[in-house]
Amino acid sequence: MALVAGGSNTAFPVLSDSVLSKEVAQVVFPPLGTNLNVLLIWPKFPPSFWGFEGVLAMLPEAAISPPLGLITVAALCPSTWSLRLLDHAFEEITDQDFRWADLVMVSAMYAQRSDALVILERARELGTRTFIGGPWASSDPDVAQLHADHVMVGEAEEVFAGIATALGNGTAQRLYRVIDKPDMSSSPIPRFDLLRRDKYTSMPVQFSRGCPFQCDFCDIITIYGRKPRGKSSTQLIAELDRLLELGWRNEVFIVDDNFIGNSKNALQLSKDLAVWGDKHGRPFSFSTEASVDLADRPELMEAMVQANFMYVFLGIETPSAEALKGSKKFQNLRKDNLEQVRTIQQNGLWVLAGFIVGFDSDDETIFERQREFIERTAITWAMAGMLQAPPTTPLFDRMKAEGRLIENSESISNFSAPNFRTAMPLPTLLHGLSGLLADLYQPEAFFQRAFRSLEIWQTRPVQKPPDLPISYNLRLLASSMWTQGIKSGYRGAYWNFLGTLIRHYWNNPSKLWMGSMILLSAQHFLIYARHVADELERDSAAAVDRMPELMPAI
C-alpha cells in the first residue's frame, strides 16, 4: 500500500526532537490555499523477485501494478485540487513537473526509499513543498522527516480532510502520527482514472487491512494491526464496477496481506463476487495472498474458485518447526504444510509462496530441506529469501536488545545480507541461499516443477482466464518465441515445455493460460535468480574476511 497506511478519528501531530532541530521543527509553512496543483509520485523499485523485469521487456505494459495507496489518497483530496500522478517506473519527472506543483505527495515502500529520497531532494531544491506517507514513512519517520516537509505515520481515510485544510491555511504539522485504525467503510473508490492503465499488467484492489497472527518478523501487524478491518462487498464491487466502466479486462489482485484474516467476510465477498462475475461474464480473474490455513476452509476455497480466483500466494516461510516456533508463526504448525498446499492446489487454486532462511535455529541442512519441500509441493514461483528485521517489528526490537542489529544497514531486499548478526556464520548463510536459488531456477528443474504444478492443480470449468485480444496474445507469443525460443540460453527447455503444455492442455483454458504465464516468467526468474546467486556467492567470499565483526553477540 501507499500513503493509505492506517487511520484515526483524530490526527495526532507529534514532533520528533530526536531528529529535528528546534529551528527546523518549529518551521511555519505558508498557507497553500484551496486551489492546489498536486503531483502524486510513485518511486521506482529496484529490480526484485516480483518485479518481473525480464517479462516486462516482452510486454507492451511497463509495470506490474500501480500505486493503490496513492490513488486512494487522491480520492480523499479536495475537489478543488488539480491532481496528476507520475509512476517513476516508466515516467520521467522533469523540473517543469515539480515547478507546476504546489505540493508533491510521495508514497513509498521500504524497497523504494532510495528513489523516494532522490525525488524529495529534487523537489526541495526546486522549492516545492513535499509530503510523504506509506509503509516506509510509517516505519521510519525519523529519517523521512529529514527529507520531507510533512510526514504521515498511519492511515489517511479519517484524517486527511483535516490535513488538507491545514495545508491550505498554513497550520500543517511536520509530523502526523495517526494512532487509531479507520473503519474501512470510510475508504473511497480509488482514483483509477488517474492511472495510465494500459501500462500495467494487473490492477489492485483492497478488501481488508491487518492480520490476526503474530509473526515476529512481519511489520504488517505493527503498521496495520492484528485486528482485520474490511470493506463491505458492496464497496469492493463498486470498485470493480468502476474498473469495468474504465475498460479494464485483465487480472485483479486483491492486495490484502491475508485475505482470510477474517474468513467469514472473505467467504461472503467470494460468494458476492461469483454472482457479480456471472452477471458481467467474468471479466476479471482474481489472485490474492492468504495464510496456509486456507486449506482448512473448503467452503471458502470453493467460493473463491466460483468467484474466478486463479492463484494464491502463501507465506510458508520454512519447513522447520523450530524456526516457526521461534518466530511465533504458530498458524503454520497446526497441520502438515505439504498436505495443506496439496489440498489448496486440488481445490482449484494454483499456489506460489514465500520462503525464508536465516532463523536462529537454522543450520546447514535448512537449504536442502527448503529445496525438498518446494520440489515436493511443486511450487514453481518460490521466493526463497533471507530473514530481515524490519523497523517496528518484534524481531527488530529483539535484535537491538541483544546487540545484534546492524545500524544503518543498506539491506533493501530478502536477497541482501540480513540487517542483524546471524547465528549461522554469514558466509555459510549466503552460500547456502545462493545454492538454493541456483538449484530452484536451473532451467530443467524450473520447467519440470512447473509442469508438475499444472498436473496437480485441479481447475474447475467455471474458472476463466483474462479475455485479452487475439492481437495482444499473438504479439506476445511472437516476442516470447524470439526472446526465449531463439535468443535465450534455455531455448531447449523452453520449446520442450511449450510443446508439452500444448499437447496436454490445449483444451483447458485455465491451465493453458497459467502455463503460458509460467513460460513467460522464465525470462525473469531464470536470469534474476542466477544474478542473485552469483552476487550472494561474491558476498559470501567477502564476508569470510569480516567474520569477527559479523559474529552475533549471543
pLDDT per residue as tens digits for the range 247-266: 999 999 999 999 999 999 99
- Band (pLDDT 50/70/90 cuts) for residue 322 is very high
Written as nine digits, the cell of 467 is 479475455
Residue 346, C-alpha cell as written in the block: 486440488
Phi-psi region of 134 (alpha: psi -120 to 50; beta: other; left: phi over 0): left
Return the SS3 of 130.
Answer: strand
Give the residue-averaged pLDDT of 324-337: 96
Average of per-residue pLDDT across 394-418: 90
With cell 503498521, the residue in question is 223
Alpha-carbon distance of 64 to 203, in angstroms, equals: 8
Question: What residues make up the domain containing 41?
Answer: 12-177
547, 541 Cβ separation under 8 angstroms:
no
Integer CA distances (angstroms), 271 to 237, 306, 347, in order? 12, 8, 16
Cα 330 to Cα 190: distance, rounded to the nearest angstrom: 35
CB proximity list for 224: less than 8 A, separation 6 or greater: 5, 6, 155, 181, 209, 210, 211, 257
How far is residue 158's CA from residue 4's CA, in Å, rounded to a whole number?
A: 10
Q: Which amino acid does the sequence have at 494?
A: Y
Q: How far apart are CA 66 and CA 89, in angstroms?
A: 10
Question: How many angstroms separate the CA atoms of 138 and 148, rounded?
Answer: 13
pLDDT value at position 410?
75
The rounded mean pLDDT for the chain is 93
Name the 3-class secondary structure at 446. helix
Evaluate whether residue 373 is within a structural domain.
no
β-partners of residue 7 are none
Which three three-digit cell numbers place residue 262? 477474517
476 Cβ contact partners less than 8 Å away, ≥ 6 residues apart: 58, 59, 520
Mean pLDDT over residues 465-471, rounded? 93
pLDDT digits (tens, 9 = 90+) for 355-371: 999 999 999 999 999 99
CB 40 within 8 A of CB 171: no
In the DSSP assignment, the letter for residue 351 is E
Do 226 and 219 meet the contact criterion of CB atoms below 8 Å apart? no
Give yes or no for residue 461 having a pLDDT over 70: yes
User: What is the pLDDT, as a whole number, of residue 11?
Assistant: 35
Q: E strand or H helix at 254, and its extent?
A: strand 251-254
Phi then psi dihedrals of residue 230, to 5 deg: -130, 160
Residue range 514-539: average pLDDT?
97
CA dist 43 and 117 (Å) reads: 9
Residue 82 lies in a domain: yes
Q: Predicted confidence band at 549 (pLDDT cuts at 50, 70, 90)?
A: low
For residue 304, what pLDDT is reported? 98
Tell me if 58 is assigned to some domain: yes
Give pLDDT, residue 161: 96
Instruction: Specify if 114 maps to a domain.
Output: yes
pLDDT above 60 for 16:
no
Total domains, the chain: 1
**pLDDT band, residue 547 (cuts 50/70/90):** low
Q: Provide the pLDDT for residue 7.
A: 30
Section 100-114 average pLDDT: 96
> In the predicted model, is pLDDT for residue 23 greater than 60?
no
Q: Is residue 146 part of a domain?
A: yes
Grid cell at residue 33: 490555499
Query: What is the b/e burial string over 139-156, where b = at least 16 CB atoms within 10 angstroms of the residue's CB?
Result: bbbebbbebbbbbbbbbb
All three cell numbers of 251, joined, read: 487480472
Average pLDDT over every residue of 446-450: 98
Strands (E), 299-358: 309-317, 350-357
Q: Strand 350-357 to strand 382-386: parallel, antiparallel, or no bridges (unpaired)?
A: parallel
Does the residue 543 lie in any domain? no
Instruction: List alpha helices for 158-290, DSSP H.
Output: 160-169, 220-223, 233-245, 263-280
CA proximity to 355, closest of 425, 423, 440, 287: 440
Please give the backbone phi and psi of residue 28, each rounded to the nearest 5 degrees, phi first.
-105, 120
Question: Please, which residues have CB within 8 angstroms of residue 231's CB and are 6 or more apart in sequence?
Answer: 184, 185, 187, 206, 207, 208
Q: What is the CATH number of the domain that holds 117?
A: 3.40.50.280
Mean pLDDT of 386-410: 93
Q: Name the DSSP class of 485.
A: I
Q: Quote the pTM value.
A: 0.92
* Predicted pLDDT of residue 144: 96
Closest CA to 288 of 253, 315, 260: 253
Please check whether residue 261 is in contact with residue 228, taking contact to mean a CB–CB distance below 8 angstroms: yes
- Give SS3 for 385: strand
Question: Residue 23 and residue 129: Cα distance in Å, rounded?
Answer: 18
Residue 312's closest CA among 283, 278, 348?
A: 348
What cell numbers appear for 338 in the block? 505439504
Asked if residue 274 belongs to a domain, the reply is: no
271 in a domain, yes or no? no
End-to-end CA distance of the chain: 36
Residue with the larger pLDDT of the pair 409 and 47: 47
Q: 406 is written with which cell numbers?
A: 546492524
Across 194-213, average pLDDT = 97
Please answer whether residues 335 and 399 qualify as being in contact, where contact means their C-beta atoms are separated by less than 8 angstroms.
Answer: no
Quick check: 331 and 213 in contact, CB under 8 A? yes
pLDDT band at 550 (very low <50, low <70, confident <90, very high): low
68: pLDDT strictly greater than 50 = yes
Question: What band does 412 get if pLDDT is binned at 50, 70 and 90?
Answer: low
The pLDDT value given to residue 21? 40
* 8 Å CB contact between 424 and 358: yes
Report the candidate in 64, 61, 71 with the shortest Cα–Cα distance to residue 1.
Answer: 71
Confidence grade of residue 407 (pLDDT, cut at 50, 70, 90): confident
